[in-house]
Amino acid sequence: MNRDRLRKQIGTLLIHAVLAAGAALVLFPFVWMLLGSVKSYNEATTAGFIPREWLWSNYLDAVTVMNGSVPCQFDAANPLAILNQCLLLRYFFNTVFVGLFVVLGVLTTSVLAGYAFARLNFPGRNLLFGILLMTLMIPFELTLVPNFVFMTWFSTPESWLATTFGLSKEGLHNWINTYYALIVPFTASVFSIFLFRQFFRGIPNELFDAALLDGATHSQFLWSVVLPLSKPALVTSALLTFLGTWNALMWPLLVTNAPQMRPIQVGLAQFIGEAGTQVQLLMAGATLTVLPIMILYLILQRWFVEGISSAGIRG
Amino acid sequence: MTTQDESHSASLPQQAAGAAPTATKRPRVQWFAYLYILPAFLVIGVFHILPVGYAIWISLQSGAVRRFQFTGLDNYIRALNAPEFWSALQTTLFYTLGTVPMTMVLGLGIAYLLFQKIRGRGIYRTIYFMPYIISTVASAIVWAWVFDPRNGLANHALALFGIPAQQWLIEPTGVFKLIGDGLQVSVPSWAEGPSLALVGIMIFAVWQVLGFDVVIFLAGLGNINSELYEAARIDGATGWQLFRYITIPLLAPTTFFILVVSLIFSLQAFNHIYAMNRSAAQQLGGPLGTTRTLSIFMFQALYEQNRAGYASAIAVLLSLMILGLTLVQFRFLGRRSENG
């Protein structure tokens, strides 16, 4: 018996050793990035682990380089002007702005469609749902060129209104370099519809019958009974959608070329060229963009991990 | 939307209150459902379904966007005759073979260890999953620095084993040829393998995606009935036997799902390569085009050469390959939805 317990303890110890070594390998690049971000150029390019002198000013330098060598200046009289003047903040603003609207769009379209497919009865329901599932088979690459062409065809609503009512002589402006191109094509997700349909199907019929007895309509039932119960599905869908927007690279590269319109990923890719061989600035720039999402992840990690495992997709 | 909804359901309460509860179960067409699905179908129709037909049409055109001219199958013939297409296909396959099995084996191993009711499981899971959350470009910057030819950690690590410094992300030579040269064995040109630059990117990609496989495998392990393990243990099964005869077979659906999803994603590889090429100050797809996958090849045709038709033809060819794989996944997803 004692020998058994000893064997078990050694086994547990071994497992911990392997897992800890793996975790250290996984974490190491982050540590290396953080340490590198506060070293001097000379120290960063020679071996040595802990910086002898912690140069916090690297972060400011990185922001300035990202800004085309113009330092960011905060004007108390006009605080929002910093978004036009400071590119790093602008990149973040773009990513968050686009992400929020995409998430809002996806949640709206998917909750409605998911509810219809789960609980409403209408001709062609299975056929339409089948068509939706079929679109999952279409790879992103195939729709890339046509959607890019669409972006050059579509006009922004404000330029259309201005032209139609003769308010401006600037003419029509297409969707290239606008938030529309970054948001609108992504405001529906078959995957989220599928997720909500599955979730809504699990809501007991008794709840619905009770609501009907109280004289509730479907829209009232959806809004005041179903949605409050659907927090897990809402959070999963929102996080996965946001992660997808956050990591998008090919599409924003294609449809934005003005620096003011870049999301953070594209902005950071641009910064790589600007910082050149200044490793410490590269690490500082990477740290600045990594920290916010890392903090968000550590706070919400349970939702992230469970969202991915219940959904089984890549963001 | 609301008005239609109300008018249609207005008669429902009386019906439900008056008749037996089964009355609500009688199929009754709720026409306003179409309004519920309209927004989703509008977006998916315009940006997902319509583009499929249009992509095929564009692939039959030559010229830049907005100056299309019909050329028939010319783009396809050009692509299939271009050595770059075949080398991009080869690179894509190298990338797939180099990342997918590796990530799955490591992912399963870690998930299995984590599953042994280990203390601090949550912390390990958080750590292993972290790279998956972090943006590809930011982590590529760090990895490119690790692989730096002059001061990178990778070369310091090689030096510990007495291996000479390597050029890593700027090395176009095949990795098997490099090993062969090191051992003074001559490697035939067909067996040179992926360039060291591509191998560097693959290491980075495995590091980034590993957490995904761990988390999905953990979920799959959680679905296996623990009584099976107990029964087998009572029958005197060893740890390896438990793993081999219970875990592996019962985990098969999860494994299959991860395999198909990973294959599809690695065939579409773009972000990791773009970010690493840029961080190593290489041209897209460089050095010497040895990291140019089909996605990169297509992107270059569109973005750098403004050849929309050619890019579309490459996309159609890539899609046909992915389609085959997705069909398999679709069947699987369909089966899951029936169960769920």
**pLDDT above 70 for B22:** no
A127 touches chain B (CB under 8 A): no
Residues of chain A with C-beta less than 8 angstroms from the C-beta of B210:
26
Q: Which helix (H) or strand (E) holds B191?
A: none
- Tell me the per-residue pLDDT of A107-161, one tens digit each, with 9 for 90 and over: 999 999 999 999 999 999 999 999 998 888 888 899 999 999 999 999 998 888 8
Give pLDDT, residue A11. 85
Give the nearest chain B residue to A288 (CA atoms). Answer: B138
Which phi and psi (to 5°) does residue B174 adopt?
Answer: -60, 145
Compute the mean pLDDT over every residue in chain B, rounded to the nearest whole number.
86
Name the residue among A143, A76, A116, A130 with its Cα closest to residue B30: A116
- Tell me the per-residue pLDDT of B144-166, one tens digit each, with 9 for 90 and over: 999 999 888 899 899 999 899 99
The single-letter DSSP state of residue B282 is P
Give pLDDT, residue B237. 87
Q: Which of B33, B135, B143 sits opposite A29 (nearest CB)?
A: B143
Q: Which of residues 231-250 of B touch A (CB under 8 A)?
A: none
Residues of chain B with C-beta less than 8 angstroms from the C-beta of A65:
none
d(CA A275, CA A273): 6
- Tell me the per-residue pLDDT of A232-290, one tens digit each, with 9 for 90 and over: 889 889 988 998 898 899 999 999 989 999 999 999 999 998 888 888 999 999 999 99
Give pLDDT, residue A136. 82
Looking at mean pLDDT, say which of A90-104, B62-76, B119-133 comes out highest: A90-104
d(CA B236, CA B125): 31
Interchain contact, B16 vs A110, CB within 8 Å: no
Average pLDDT over residues A25-35: 93
Q: If phi over 0 gives left and psi between -120 and 50 gives alpha, with beta otherwise, what is residue B66?
A: left
Name the residue among B204, B206, B199, B209 with its Cα closest to residue B91: B199
Which phi and psi (to 5°) does residue B216 adopt?
Answer: -70, -40
Average pLDDT over residues B186-207: 93
Give pLDDT, residue A313. 45
Q: Which band of pLDDT confidence, cut at 50, 70 and 90, is reported for residue B23?
A: very low
Average pLDDT over residues A195-207: 88
Chain A to chain B Cβ contacts (< 8 Å): 308
The full 3-state SS of A138-154, as one line of letters, equals CCHHHHHHHHHHHHHHC
- Tell me the per-residue pLDDT of B231-257, one tens digit each, with 9 for 90 and over: 998 988 888 888 889 999 999 888 888
A135 touches chain B (CB under 8 A): yes
Under 8 Å between Cβ of B213 and B258: yes
Compute the mean pLDDT over every residue in chain A, rounded to the nearest whole number.
88
Interchain contact, B216 vs A312, CB within 8 Å: yes
User: Helix, strand or coil for residue B192?
Assistant: coil
A55 touches chain B (CB under 8 A): no
Q: Which band of pLDDT confidence, cut at 50, 70 and 90, is reported for residue A312?
A: low
Give pLDDT, residue B100. 95
Residues of chain A with C-beta less than 8 angstroms from the C-beta of B302:
144-145, 148, 254
Provide the residue ranges of all domains of chain B, joining segments of one domain with +.
2-75, 82-339
Q: Which helix (H) or strand (E) holds A53?
A: none
B318-327 core/surface letters (b: 16 or more CB in 10 A; e: else):
bbebbbebbe
Interchain contact, A272 vs B146, CB within 8 Å: no
Average pLDDT over residues A61-85: 82
Number of helices (H), then strands (E), belonging to chain B: the values are 18, 2
Interchain contact, B37 vs A45, CB within 8 Å: no
Q: Which of residues 106-135 of B touch A (CB under 8 A)?
A: 110, 113-114, 116, 118, 120, 124-131, 133-135
Q: Which band of pLDDT confidence, cut at 50, 70 and 90, is reported for residue A165?
A: confident
Q: Exposed (0-12), middle (13-18) or buried (19+): which is B35, by Cβ within 10 Å?
A: middle
Q: Which of residues 169-228 of A touch B (CB under 8 A)?
A: 184-188, 190, 193-194, 198, 208-209, 212-215, 217-219
Under 8 Å between Cβ of A184 and B39: no
**pLDDT above 80 for B32:** yes
Interchain contact, A121 vs B137, CB within 8 Å: no
Give the nearest chain A residue to B215 (CA atoms). Answer: A309
**pLDDT above 90 for B223:** no
Q: If phi over 0 gives left and psi between -120 and 50 gives alpha, with beta otherwise, what is residue B236?
A: left
Prediction ipTM score:
0.90
Q: Which band of pLDDT confidence, cut at 50, 70 and 90, is reported for residue A311?
A: low
Taking the CA of residue B184 and the nearest CA in chain A, the distance in Å comes to: 31
The single-letter DSSP state of residue B164 is P
Interchain contact, A125 vs B33, CB within 8 Å: yes
Q: Tokens 């949640």 — which residue? A: A107
Domains and CATH numbers, chain A: 56-311 (1.10.3720.10)
Q: Which of residues 142-161 of A touch B (CB under 8 A)?
A: 142-150, 152
In the numeric block, which tokens belong to residue A112?
């409605």
Q: Which band of pLDDT confidence, cut at 50, 70 and 90, is reported for residue B339?
A: very low
**pLDDT above 80 for A48:** no
Q: Which of residues 4-33 of B touch A (CB under 8 A)?
A: 5-6, 9-10, 12-13, 16-17, 21, 24, 27-33
**pLDDT above 50 for B16:** no
Under 8 Å between Cβ of B187 and B176: yes
**pLDDT above 80 for B2:** no
Name the residue among B146, B197, B144 with its Cα closest to residue B173: B197
Give pLDDT, residue A52. 84
- Tell me the per-residue pLDDT of B76-96, one tens digit each, with 9 for 90 and over: 999 999 999 999 999 999 999
CA distances from B324 to A17, A167, B47 (A): 42, 52, 22
**pLDDT above 80 for A310:** no
In the numeric block, which tokens belong to residue B8?
């249609």
Percent of chain B with pLDDT over 90: 55
Average pLDDT over residues B273-299: 93
Q: Which CATH class is domain B82-339?
A: mainly alpha
Amino acid at B309: G
